[in-house]
Chain A
Amino acid sequence: MDGDILNIGAGLAIGLGAIGPGIGIGLLGSKAMEAIGRNPEAAGPIQTNMILAIAFAEAIAIYALVVAILIKFV
C-alpha cells in the first residue's frame, strides 16, 4: 500500500512537472520558427539560442525528475 502511493506520487511529480516545461518549449519553438520565417539569414544564431533556452526550460522538468527519483528510491 505504501509502495503504491509512492509510485503514484512519483508518477504525478514528473507528470505534472513536465507540463510547464512542455508548454515553454512549445512556445520557444514556435517563436523561433516565426523568427526564422521572418529572417531566414539569422537561422544559425536563432537555432543556437533556441537550443540554449530549451535547455533552461528543460531544467525545470529535470527538477521534477529529481523529485520523482527521490520519492521512488529514497
Chain B
Amino acid sequence: MSKLFSYITKIILNPIALGILFIVSVLGGGLGSALGLGFISAPFAYISIPSETLYVFEGSKDNFLINFLNSAITNTLLMSLLTIVILLVVSIKATSKMKIIPSGIQNLIEFAIEAMYNTCKKIAGEEKGKIFFPLVMTIFLFVVISNWIGVLPGTGTIGRIESAEEYCHHQEKKDNLGHDVKFNIYKKNGNLSSTLFGFGSSQYKINSSDSSLFKHLDSKDKHSDYHGNEICSHDWLHHEFEDAKSLKAKELGVDNFDNNYQAGILVPFFRGSNSDINTTLALALCAMITIHWWGIKYLGLSGHFGKFINFKNGPINFFVGILELVGEFAKVISFTFRLFGNIFAGEVLLFAMAFLLPLIGIIPFIGLELFVGLIQGLIFSMLTLVFAAIATVSHNSDEH
C-alpha cells in the first residue's frame, strides 16, 4: 500500500509540483510582468561588454606596477585568479599522494592529461607533440575551468550596487566615459537580499519592472556643451537623476521617490573571465606568439618567415605569402572573438532566461553553457595544436 502511495506521489505530485513551479515562473517573471503580475521579476540586467571595475587603485599615475595592472581590479580578473587557484589546488591534491594504480582525483586528472597527450602525439607527431602538449593542455584547462565556474549560479548576479556617481568616477579614471549607460533604481542601503539580482527588486513598493529606470546618460555629448574638457560632473549627474526620477514617478502616478532610492548598476563580484575580451586576446596572443616561436625554432628564421615573404617562386607565390601573413593576424582575431563571442552570448542568454522565466527557465541553458564551455576549450586548444603543427612544417616538404 505504501509502495502504491509512493508511486502515486511520484507520478502525480512531481508533475504537479513542476507545473506549479512553471506557472509561478511564467506569471512571476518577465512574461507575467507584461500582464501586470511579475511578482518575482527583476529589471533586465545591465549588459556591459567591458568588465566591471571592482576596485580602483588610488594614485595610480605614479606607481609603475599599479599602472601596469591597468590600475583597477575587474570582476573577470578576479575570476581568472580564482581559476588559477582552483587549478593549483586540484593539481596539488591530485599529485600529493600518487599511487601506481590511480584512483579518485588522480585518476580523473590522469585520464584528461593522457587523452590530450595522445591527441597531441597523433596530430603533431611523436616528437613535436611532447613539446606542444604543455601549452595546449594549459589553454584547455584554463579555458574549460574558467568557463565552467562562470556558469555557476551567482556569477553575474550577486554583487553590489554601484551608484551612478561612483560609476562615472571610475570610468573617468580610466578615461572611458562617453558611452550610453542605463541605470536602474535601487533602494539605498538595503539589506543584503536587495543586492541579489533575482528577488531584490520585489521589495519595492511599486512593481519591480516599472521601478527600473532606463535612462540614457550620453554624458559626453550633453556635457561638452557646458563644461568643455571636463567630461562628467557629479552635480550634473545628480541633477539629471533628480529630473528623471520625478519624471518616472509622475509616469507611475506616485508622489515622488524619496531619498531612499539611488540610480546605479549592479556590479557583479564574479563574471566568467572569458566574457572579457582582454582575457581571450591575451590567450590568443600567447598561443600565436608561441606558435611562431616554434616555427622559428624548427625551420630557422628565414625558413619560417620565408613562408610569408616569398620572392623566390614567382609573383603568385608572393601573393600567397602575403595572404598567409594576413591570415596570421586573422587567426588572432578569430581566436579572440570566437571564445569571447560564445561565452558572452551564453551569459546574455542566461540573463534573458533568468528574466523571462525566473526559477526554472535557466536550468536547461546552464547545461547548454557547460557543454559550450567544454567545446570552446577543446576548439581553442585543438586549433593551437593544429596551427603549431602547420607552422613547424616547411612548405617545401609538402610538395613531394
Contact = CB atoms under 8 A, between A and B. Distances in A.
A62 B334 contact: yes
B378 A51 contact: yes
Contacts, number: 33
Contact of B49 (A52, A62, A63, A73): A73
Contacts of A52: 379, 382-383, 386
Contacts of B341: 62, 65
Classify the interface of chain A: helix, strand, loop or mixed. Answer: helix
B375 A59 contact: no
A55 B383 contact: yes
Interface in B319-349: 330, 333-334, 337-338, 341
Interface in A18-74: 48, 51-52, 55, 58-59, 62-63, 65-66, 69, 73
Given A51-B379, A52-B383, A73 B337 contact: no
Nearest to B338: A62
Contact of B337 (A48, A51, A65): A65
Contacts of A55: 338, 379, 382-383
Nearest to B385: A52
Q: How large is the interface on B (under 10, 10 to 19, 20 to 34, 35 or more residues)?
A: 10 to 19
A58 to B, nearest CB: 6
Nearest to A3: B180
A57 B352 CA distance: 27
A55 B379 CA distance: 7
Q: How large is the interface on A (under 10, 10 to 19, 20 to 34, 35 or more residues)?
A: 10 to 19
A73 B49 CA distance: 10
B312 interface: no
A65 to B, nearest CB: 5
B179 interface: yes
Interface string B376-393: 001100110010000000
Interface in B47-97: 49
Given A48-B119, A73-B49, A66 B379 contact: no
Contacts of B119: 48
Contacts of A62: 333-334, 337-338, 341
Contacts of B337: 62-63, 65-66
A48 B386 CA distance: 11
10 contacts: A48-B119, A51-B378, A52-B379, A52-B382, A52-B383, A55-B383, A59-B334, A59-B338, A63-B333, A69-B49
Listed from nearest, the 4 A-B pairs whose CB atoms lie closest are A59-B334, A62-B337, A55-B379, A65-B341
Interface of B: 49, 119, 179, 330, 333-334, 337-338, 341, 375, 378-379, 382-383, 386
